[in-house]
Amino acid sequence: MKLRVLAALAIAALLWGISLPSQPHYELCGFLWLTGRPCPLCGLTRALFALGKGHWNQAVQLHALSPLGLIMLFSLLWEKGLWRESLWKFGLAAFGVYGVWRAVV
């Protein structure tokens, strides 16, 4: 239990302490390169770092599902169980639907 708390604090400290530019210098997403459309995860890294600093509006503008992604990230530190499994099933489905919507619209 103590190790999980320390890991959560370390993740929170990294998200708070590291600043990323709002626009990357180089686009690393292969899906974006090939299609010109953002993939389901485009902007999520920058959004998670914005959430770590408390910039909720900026995070949601970068990626609408970033709060869900943050909860899913921290859920990896919880005990395995039905709740965590259900969260990940819902989360992956939500990212899939959101990704299709982003690619089509």
Q: Around Cβ 33, how many Cβ atoms within 10 Å?
A: 9
pLDDT tens digits for range 26-44: 777 788 888 888 778 888 8
So where are the chain's domains? 2-104
Question: What is the b/e burial string over 70-89, where b = at least 16 CB atoms within 10 angstroms of the residue's CB?
Answer: bebeeeeeeeeeeeeeebee
The pLDDT assigned to 32 comes to 80
The pLDDT assigned to 55 comes to 94
pLDDT tens digits for range 40-72: 888 888 899 999 999 999 999 989 999 999 999
Beta strands in the chain (DSSP E): none
The torsion region of residue 35 among left (phi > 0), alpha (psi -120 to 50) and beta comes to alpha
C-alpha span between 70 and 52 (Å, rounded):
9
User: Tokens in use for 69?
Assistant: 């992604």
C-alpha span between 6 and 93 (Å, rounded):
30
pLDDT band of residue 13 (cuts 50, 70, 90) is very high
**Single-letter residue type at 10:** A
The pLDDT assigned to 54 comes to 94
Q: Are 83 and 21 in contact (CB under 8 A)?
A: no
